[in-house]
Amino acid sequence: MTSTELTERPVEQSPVPRRPFHRRTDYLVSALIVIVTLVIGLALWRVSDARSTVDQTTTETLPLASPLTTVPTGFAEAWRAASTATPVPVLAGAAVVTGDGHEVAGHEALTGRVVWRYSRNLDLCTVGLGWGDAIAIYRKKDTCSEVTQLAGDTGRRGPQRNGDSEVGTQLLSDGTFVATTGQKLIEVWRSPMIRTQQYGTLRALINPNRMPRPDCRFRSQALGSGRVAVIERCKGDDSDRLTQLKSDPSDGEKPEELFSAVLGQQNARVVATNQDRAAALLPGGRLQVFKAGEQPVTHQLTITANEQVPIAEDTTVGPVDAEGRPGTVYWHIGGKTIALDGTDFHPLWTADNTAGTGVLYAGKFLIPTAGGLRVVDQRTGVAEREISIVREGYTGPIVLRTNGSELFEQRGSTVVALKPKV
CB atoms within 10 A of CB 102: 17
pLDDT of residue 321: 60
Does the structure show a pLDDT above 70 at 387?
A: yes
pLDDT of residue 52: 78
Three-state DSSP state, 111: coil
Q: Tell how far CA 173 is from the center of its chain.
A: 7
219: left (phi over 0), alpha (psi -120 to 50) or beta: alpha
Q: Are 139 and 123 in contact (CB under 8 A)?
A: yes
Q: Give the tens place of pLDDT for each residue, 43-68.
A: 544 555 555 799 999 999 999 889 99
Q: What is the pTM of this model?
A: 0.86
Q: Of 283, 203, 278, which Cα lies nearest the Cα of 240?
A: 283
Q: Are 365 and 317 in contact (CB under 8 A)?
A: no
Does the structure show a pLDDT above 90 at 12?
A: no
Beta pairing partners, 395: none
Distance CA(177)–CA(175), nearest Å, equals 6
Q: Are 101 and 123 in contact (CB under 8 A)?
A: yes
Q: What percent of the chain has pLDDT over 90?
A: 74
Q: Tell how far CA 299 is from the center of its chain.
A: 30
Which secondary structure element, helix H or strand E, spans residue 32, and what is its range? helix 24-47
Exposed/middle/buried for residue 271 (C-beta within 10 Å: 0-12, 13-18, 19+):
buried
pLDDT of residue 316: 79
pLDDT of residue 208: 56
Average pLDDT of the residues in 91-113: 97
Does the structure show a pLDDT above 80 at 364?
A: yes
Half-sphere exposure of 160 (CA within 13 A, CB side): 7
Average pLDDT of the residues in 38-45: 54
Q: Give the tens place of pLDDT for each residue, 247-272.
A: 999 998 899 999 999 999 999 999 99
Phi, psi of 386 (to 5 degrees): -120, 140
- DSSP of 71-85: --S-EEEEEEEE-TT
Cα-Cα-Cα-Cα dihedral sign, residues 188, 190, 192, 197: negative
